[in-house]
């Protein structure tokens, strides 16, 4: 099977530092290659993947650091998207299916297609998705679908990385960690406040861009001179493993409907439990009471975090590596690819299928709306 995997222009694949979606794309390509398929990546020219690369821009353009740079950056993205559309059109005779990770496939709805929604579906993006209900979607958590149940969801595929790259540390150091964007969605200031209330050191790392403008200076910078606060900035993969694996607990004070939360998974690979606000995908990733604690807020977390410190780190690691890995993720996507292709009568569908056939195909593939509050907590537990 030949799959055109379409990435955004913002971060290379794999990412040099921060880049959750790009890391997942890298592991999907790795899994597809190992399974004998032929992925073709449409992404930044400085990507380093072991498959054919069709550059959509010379190098990754990243996200702007301030709002004043946002408009020219958006114009650049529009230009790149037009180029991506042309390149993807040229590829159609060579591929079987298109798998987008954020690129708008409106012009390719007549061809076997799939879009993974990696980000949240909020009010700002509601009209975007409603205008594109003729496309097929996968979410990275079941909770995502509850935000907009009207889309043509064909499944949920949990993200997965290569667990072998993460080390299990059973005797952590005396600090807690935060890893993520520094903005009001991720709320790292709450992690700092909790650590200081406990009198324990906190190490923080992650990306700062235009979304952190104002917030970082107001909510984070005042704490940086405190002896218990260590700010690491944006770090690479090895530094990330060191941060997460040696932490007593990973803090995740999410302030929005979290689509997934890769730091929770990566911490778990290392045996590190997570204390998280009970929102979005968190109940699907965390087995409450065994791999972490779910709380309504970090005031409650102050009274619950000791449970995290006492958890069996080997169990946390084994469970995460069993349930969430790139091989399982890839297998799920391959099944979905085959399901989509089986609904299309022949590969020449892109050129010959009348538009009136498309609603029938989408109805055939559409899943029932997600069940609320589904969780992996009841999944079969690994033996440790």
Residue 370 resides in a domain? no
Residue 171 resides in a domain? yes
Residue 59 has pLDDT above 50, yes or no: yes
Contact call for residues 184 and 208 (beta carbons, < 8 A): no
Residue 28 resides in a domain? yes
Residue 336 has pLDDT above 80, yes or no: yes
Cα 223 to Cα 221: distance, rounded to the nearest angstrom: 5
Which residues are registered as beta bridge partners of 156? 139
Per this entry, what is the length of the chain? 384
What does the pLDDT average to over 35-54? Answer: 97
Cα 321 to Cα 318: distance, rounded to the nearest angstrom: 5
Residue 370 has pLDDT above 60, yes or no: no
Q: Verify that 152 and 58 share a domain, yes or no.
A: yes
Q: Verify that 348 and 305 share a domain, yes or no.
A: no
Q: Verify that 330 and 281 share a domain, yes or no.
A: no
CA diameter of the chain? 67
Element (DSSP H or E) covering residue 98: strand 97-100
Looking at per-residue pLDDT, the higher value among 228 and 66 belongs to 228
Contact call for residues 313 and 271 (beta carbons, < 8 A): yes
Residue 382 resides in a domain? no
So what's the pLDDT on residue 306?
97
Looking at per-residue pLDDT, the higher value among 285 and 211 belongs to 285
Alpha helices (H) along the chain: 20-34, 70-91, 123-130, 142-147, 188-198, 215, 237-245, 262-269, 282-285, 298-309, 313-323, 326-343, 349-352, 358-365
Computed over every residue of the chain, the mean pLDDT equals 90
So what's the pLDDT on residue 32?
98
C-alpha distances out from residue 263 to 38, 128, 204, 351, Å:
29, 28, 12, 43
Cα 189 to Cα 239: distance, rounded to the nearest angstrom: 21
Least confident of 24-38, 52-66, 137-151: 52-66
The total domain count for the chain is 2
Q: Verify that 141 and 218 share a domain, yes or no.
A: no
Contact call for residues 67 and 34 (beta carbons, < 8 A): no
Q: Verify that 157 and 186 share a domain, yes or no.
A: no
Residue 372 resides in a domain? no
Q: Verify that 330 and 351 share a domain, yes or no.
A: yes
Cα 117 to Cα 152: distance, rounded to the nearest angstrom: 12
- Band (pLDDT 50/70/90 cuts) for residue 353 is very low
Looking at per-residue pLDDT, the higher value among 357 and 7 belongs to 7
pLDDT in tens, 279-312: 999 999 999 999 999 999 999 999 999 999 999 9
What does the pLDDT average to over 176-201? Answer: 97
Would you call 76 exposed, middle or buried from its count of C-beta atoms within 10 A (0-12, 13-18, 19+)? Answer: middle
Range of the domain at 197: 163-323
Which residues are registered as beta bridge partners of 250? 177, 274
Residue 377 resides in a domain? no
Q: Verify that 26 and 103 share a domain, yes or no.
A: yes
Contact call for residues 170 and 271 (beta carbons, < 8 A): yes
- Band (pLDDT 50/70/90 cuts) for residue 62 is confident
Q: Verify that 93 and 28 share a domain, yes or no.
A: yes
Cα 107 to Cα 86: distance, rounded to the nearest angstrom: 11
> Tell me, what CATH number does 86's domain have?
3.40.50.2000
Residue 229 resides in a domain? yes
Q: Verify that 51 and 171 share a domain, yes or no.
A: no
Q: What proportion of the chain, given as a percentage, has pLDDT over 90? A: 81
Residue 150 resides in a domain? yes
Residue 372 has pLDDT above 60, yes or no: no
pLDDT in tens, 96-124: 999 999 999 999 999 999 999 999 998 98
Residue 156 has pLDDT above 80, yes or no: yes
Residue 368 has pLDDT above 70, yes or no: no
176 φ/ψ angles, rounded to the nearest 5 degrees? -110, 165
Q: Verify that 116 and 99 share a domain, yes or no.
A: yes
Q: Verify that 67 and 87 share a domain, yes or no.
A: yes
Q: Verify that 168 and 156 share a domain, yes or no.
A: no
Cα 237 to Cα 257: distance, rounded to the nearest angstrom: 26
User: Is the full-model pTM beyond 0.85?
Assistant: yes
Residue 247 has pLDDT above 80, yes or no: yes
So what's the pLDDT on residue 366?
60
Q: Which residues contact 210 (CB under 8 A, 6 or more apart)?
A: 63, 64, 65, 66, 67, 69, 70
- Band (pLDDT 50/70/90 cuts) for residue 66 is confident
Q: Which long-range contacts (CB under 8 A, 24 or more apart) does 153-157 make?
A: 153/366, 153/367, 153/370, 154/114, 154/336, 154/339, 154/340, 154/365, 154/366, 154/367, 155/332, 155/336, 155/367, 156/370, 157/116, 157/329, 157/332, 157/333, 157/336
Contact call for residues 261 and 140 (beta carbons, < 8 A): no
So what's the pLDDT on residue 365?
66
């Amino acid at each position: 099977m030949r799959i055109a995997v379409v990435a955004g222009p913002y971060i290379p694949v794999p990412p040099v530092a921060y880049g959750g979606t790009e890391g997942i794309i890298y592991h999907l390509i790795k899994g597809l290659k190992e399974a004998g398929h032929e992925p073709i990546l449409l992404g930044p020219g400085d990507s380093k993947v072991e498959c054919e690369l069709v550059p959509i821009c010379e190098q990754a353009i990243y996200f702007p650091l301030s709002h004043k740079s946002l408009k020219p950056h958006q114009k650049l993205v529009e230009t790149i998207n037009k180029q991506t559309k042309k390149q993807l059109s040229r590829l159609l005779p060579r591929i079987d299916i298109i798998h987008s990770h954020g690129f708008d496939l409106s012009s390719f709805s007549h061809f076997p297609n799939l879009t993974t929604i990696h980000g949240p579906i909020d009010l700002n993006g509601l009209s975007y998705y409603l205008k594109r209900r003729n496309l097929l979607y996968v979410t990275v958590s079941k909770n995502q679908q509850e935000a907009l149940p009207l889309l043509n969801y064909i499944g949920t595929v949990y993200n997965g990385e290569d667990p072998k790259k993460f080390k299990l540390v059973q005797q952590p150091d005396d600090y807690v960690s935060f890893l993520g964007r520094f903005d009001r969605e991720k709320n790292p200031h709450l992690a700092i406040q909790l650590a200081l209330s406990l009198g324990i050191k906190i190490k923080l790392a992650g990306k700062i861009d235009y979304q952190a403008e104002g917030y970082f200076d107001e909510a984070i910078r005042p704490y940086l001179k405190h002896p218990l606060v260590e700010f690491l900035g944006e770090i690479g993969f090895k530094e990330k493993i060191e941060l997460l694996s040696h932490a007593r607990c990973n803090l995740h004070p999410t302030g929005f409907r979290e689509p997934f939360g890769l730091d929770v998974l990566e911490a778990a690979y290392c045996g590190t439990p997570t204390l998280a606000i009970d929102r979005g995908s968190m109940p699907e990733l965390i087995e409450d009471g065994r791999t972490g604690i779910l709380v309504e807020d970090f005031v409650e977390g102050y009274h619950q975090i000791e449970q995290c410190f006492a958890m069996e780190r080997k169990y946390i690691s084994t469970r995460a590596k069993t349930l969430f890995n790139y091989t399982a993720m890839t297998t799920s996507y391959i099944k979905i690819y085959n399901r989509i292709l089986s609904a299309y009568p022949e590969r020449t569908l892109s050129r010959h299928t009348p538009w009136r056939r498309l609603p029938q195909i989408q109805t055939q593939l559409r899943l029932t709306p997600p069940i609320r509050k589904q969780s992996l907590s009841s999944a079969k537990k690994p033996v440790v």
